[in-house]
């Protein structure tokens, strides 16, 4: 249920492989979209290396600034998977072998016939008092401590974890959008668009240009929580486009 207040979130991506360019993050669009559907606005995304001090600092800053903090990456069995340790340190809690997480992993490796060795056992470690986030794909769970949700970096696993997290979150007013398309360049529209933005300070107006075989094409995306105000602002954008000699077209609306 919504109490009318804006609910915000940040995403902390942990891993040298993202910063090196070896791995391309595919989780941001999915997380942003799912949170938006739940009435939660993703306000910041940060990428940090596998360096304990930097992860701890980022966790503490972001969890205090936003309603929710989501992390991806760094909860596997290898030496550089340090997220659980870092979150424990950020909260000043002991790192423990979570009994239920361990039980699930023991059963999983018995079924697969693979050795549940010391490094794989690290995947059952969580800060003391953490709750688990189910992982229906590969068993090893994520975990939650207060407003911090720790999930895998592999997109398929992260998405499955997020599906279990979303119903537990409390969102605010949902962000709606209107899109108006103009076959005009940004430079032509910019002055009038600035004036519309000043008239509607509660509406976010974004301009996204493209160049096609037919010439310039600019998508103007308006986002806000009040449908009537959005419609009024979109009408002003259409009027602006017509006044500049263009023919506005409506894109997808939500």
Of the chain, the percentage scoring pLDDT greater than 90 comes to 90
**Number of independent structural domains in the chain:** 2
Gyration radius of the chain's alpha carbons: 22
Which residue matches tokens 């993703």?
Answer: 42
Average pLDDT over every residue of 141-161: 98
Q: 109 and 185 share a domain?
A: no
Q: Provide the pLDDT for residue 254.
A: 67
The CATH number of the domain holding residue 61 is 3.40.980.10
- The band of 26, judged by pLDDT with boundaries at 50, 70 and 90, is very high
- Which candidate, 114, 34, 130, places its Cα nearest to that of 77? 114
The answer, as to whether pTM is greater than 0.85, is yes
Q: 190 and 149 share a domain?
A: no
Has residue 40 been placed in a domain? yes
How far apart are alpha carbons 121 and 97 in whole angstroms? Answer: 8
Has residue 2 been placed in a domain? no
The CATH number of the domain holding residue 245 is 3.30.70.1130
Averaged pLDDT of the chain: 94
Annotate 160-179 with three-state secondary structure: HHHHHHHHHCCCCCCCEEEE
Q: Provide the pLDDT for residue 176.
A: 93
- The band of 253, judged by pLDDT with boundaries at 50, 70 and 90, is low
For residue range 226-246, what is the model confidence (pLDDT) as tens digits?
Answer: 999 999 999 999 999 999 999
Domain boundary among 142, 168, 194: 168
Average pLDDT over every residue of 9-23: 95
- The band of 1, judged by pLDDT with boundaries at 50, 70 and 90, is very low
Which residue matches tokens 């794909």?
Answer: 137
Report whether pLDDT(212) > 90: no
- The band of 217, judged by pLDDT with boundaries at 50, 70 and 90, is confident
Has residue 118 been placed in a domain? yes
Q: Provide the pLDDT for residue 168.
A: 97
Q: Provide the 10 A C-beta neighbour count for residue 18.
A: 19
Q: 164 and 180 share a domain?
A: no
Report whether pLDDT(126) > 90: yes
Average pLDDT over every residue of 130-157: 97
Q: Provide the pLDDT for residue 185.
A: 86
Full domain range(s) for residue 99: 7-168
Of the chain, the percentage scoring pLDDT greater than 70 comes to 98
Q: Provide the pLDDT for residue 2.
A: 39
């Amino acid at each position: 249920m919504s109490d009318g207040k804006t609910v915000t979130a940040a995403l902390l991506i942990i891993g040298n492989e993202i910063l090196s360019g070896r791995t391309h993050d595919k989780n941001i669009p999915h997380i942003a979209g799912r949170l938006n559907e739940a009435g939660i606005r993703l306000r910041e995304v940060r990428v940090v290396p596998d360096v304990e001090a930097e992860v701890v600092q980022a966790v503490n800053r972001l969890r205090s600034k936003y309603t929710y903090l989501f992390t991806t990456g760094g909860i596997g069995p290898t030496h550089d998977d340090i997220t659980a340790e870092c979150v424990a340190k950020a909260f000043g809690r002991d790192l423990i072998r979570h009994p239920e997480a361990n039980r699930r992993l023991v059963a999983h490796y018995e079924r697969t016939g693979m050795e549940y060795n010391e490094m794989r056992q690290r995947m059952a470690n969580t800060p003391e008092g953490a709750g688990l986030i189910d992982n229906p794909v590969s068993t090893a769970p994520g975990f939650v401590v207060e407003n911090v949700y720790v999930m895998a970096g592999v997109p398929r696993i992260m998405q499955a974890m997020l599906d279990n997290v979303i119903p537990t979150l409390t969102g605010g007013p949902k962000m709606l959008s209107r899109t108006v398309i103009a076959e005009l360049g940004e430079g032509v529209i910019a002055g009038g668009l600035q004036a519309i933005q000043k008239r509607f300070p509660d509406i976010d107006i974004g301009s996204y240009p493209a160049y096609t075989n037919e010439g310039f094409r600019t998508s103007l995306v308006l986002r806000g929580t009040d449908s009537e105000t959005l419609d009024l602002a979109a009408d002003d954008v259409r009027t602006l486009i017509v006044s500049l000699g263009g023919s506005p077209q409506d894109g997808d609306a939500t």
